[in-house]
Amino acid sequence: MKFILSNGRYMVIIGVIGAFLAAISLFVYGGILTVQQIIETIQAGYVSSKGSKILMLSFVEVADIFLLGTVMYLVSLGLYELFIDDNIEVPQWLEIHTLDDLKQKLVGVIVVVMGVIFLGHVIKWHGEPEIVYYGAAIAFVVAALTYFTSQKKKKEEDKTDK
């Protein structure tokens, strides 16, 4: 039983591969959308403020796709580092040694994704008051995530002080 449980960690490779394939798919899809939007803009043959708003919104949505690809890549990399091999060559800021490291990195990207999504709503905004509630909801989630991560850091600092 001990052997099965200790080697069962390699089942995580399914999640690693799945998340990595999802990341590749999102990056390729975002790249195709970027090229497609540029071609459509050039083919339109005119420049206008309405066109620029459409172009901005389009690129904000593409940025959102790239950020989600980044999340999937971080999940893939983090699971691999945590369960399979901790000694792969990545920049120091991308090293993940604990589940808390992975959560910390994911929280950071999630906050950015929510900010990009809100920016997309601001660009599409036509004066409806609902945007205030939407912004407040995002602010609440960001505050909760910030509090969550700061408490974790505080606990770690308290442990090192003792």
CA distances from 119 to 92, 97, 129, 144 (A): 30, 33, 15, 20
pLDDT in tens, 88-116: 888 888 888 888 888 888 888 888 888 88
* Boundaries of every domain in the chain: 2-161
Q: Please state the separation of Cα 129 from the chain's center in Å.
A: 28
Residue with the larger pLDDT of the pair 92 and 20: 20
Give the pLDDT band (50/70/90) at residue 146.
confident
Transcribe 85-145 into DSSP letters: -S-----GGG---SHHHHHHHHHHHHHHHHHHHHHHHHHH--S-THHHHHHHHHHHHHHHH
Query: Tokens in use for 39?
Result: 């071609």
Query: In the predicted model, what is the mean pLDDT of residues 113-137?
Result: 86
